[in-house]
């Protein structure tokens, strides 16, 4: 029911048929997954004939890939901000942790991640793309940041790649694992700040020089 993807330009003007199709497909794919969602259902939801869908998107696979790719890009926006420069590692990591948690706890994003994980065996390029833009990108950036802090002697991080992954696990774990299997977690967006702070505390306490 949540529509993440909206055409940026001129949301005021009445939506074109294509927009309607994209919105409908977006909702249904995220809600049900690729296989279950039929082109009939998309056409119906978009209040458009099935032929119109096919005149805009040559196939179901193409439509799905197009939409998911676009959503990955949208998801990536905002993760490009630099990590620091900031006075203390505590501030930098806290900012990163909070950013991750904001992202992870958005309902739309949860559906997106779930759908990508679901279909990543059939559409590996989508999983890869999301990884590179989202968690993978964050992992690389934190890795580089930690490596630098280690070099400067501010932190003790002999294996920055592993530490970076552990940081991500520490931050995201509580909100993530249960959600994947049961659909809900003990912690919600309201707990995000506290979770972030606790994660950073734990991480820093064990990486002092």
Write out the residues near a copy of itself by the rule CB under 8 A: 32-33, 35-36, 114, 116-118, 120-122, 124, 127-128, 130-131, 135-136, 139, 159, 161-162, 165-166, 168-174, 176-178, 180-183, 186-187, 195, 198-199, 201-203, 205-207
Among 3, 6, 31, 59, binds DNA (CB under 7 A): 59
22 binds, among a copy of itself, DNA, none (CB under 5 to 8 A by kind): none
End-to-end alpha carbon distance in the chain? 49
User: CA torsion sign, 99 to 159 to 89 to 140?
Assistant: negative
Q: For DNA, what does the binding mask look like between residues 17 and 46, x meaning CB under 7 A?
A: xx------------------xxxxx-----
Q: CA geometry: angle at 28 spanning 23 and 33, to 5°?
A: 135
Q: In angstroms, how far apart are the furthest CA atoms of the chain? A: 65
Full DSSP string of 27-69: HHHHHH-TTT--HHHHHHHTTS-HHHHHHHSSSHHHHHHHHHH
17 binds, among a copy of itself, DNA, none (CB under 5 to 8 A by kind): DNA
CB of 190 to a copy of itself, least distance (A): 14
134 vs 98: CA distance, rounded Å: 14
Interface contacts to DNA, rule CB under 7 A = 16-18, 37-41, 48-52, 54-56, 58-61
């Amino acid at each position: 029911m949540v529509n993440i993807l909206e055409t940026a330009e001129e949301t005021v003007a009445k939506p074109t048929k294509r927009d309607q199709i994209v919105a409908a497909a977006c909702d249904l794919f995220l809600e049900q997954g690729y296989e279950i969602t039929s082109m009939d259902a998309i056409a119906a939801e978009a209040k458009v004939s099935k032929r119109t869908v096919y005149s805009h998107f040559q196939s179901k696979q193409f439509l799905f890939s197009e939409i998911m790719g676009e959503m990955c890009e949208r998801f990536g926006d905002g993760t490009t901000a630099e990590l620091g420069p900031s006075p203390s590692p505590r501030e930098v990591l806290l900012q990163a942790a909070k950013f991750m948690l904001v992202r992870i706890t958005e309902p739309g994003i949860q559906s997106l991640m779930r759908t990508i994980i679901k279909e990543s065996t059939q559409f590996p390029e989508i999983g890869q793309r999301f990884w590179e833009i989202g968690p993978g990108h964050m992992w690389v950036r934190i890795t580089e940041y930690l490596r630098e802090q280690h070099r400067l002697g501010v932190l003790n991080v002999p294996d920055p790649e592993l530490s970076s992954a552990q940081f991500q696990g520490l931050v995201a774990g509580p909100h993530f694992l249960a959600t994947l299997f049961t659909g809900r977690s003990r912690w919600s967006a309201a707990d995000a700040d506290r979770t972030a702070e606790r994660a950073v505390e734990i991480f820093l306490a064990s990486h002092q020089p």
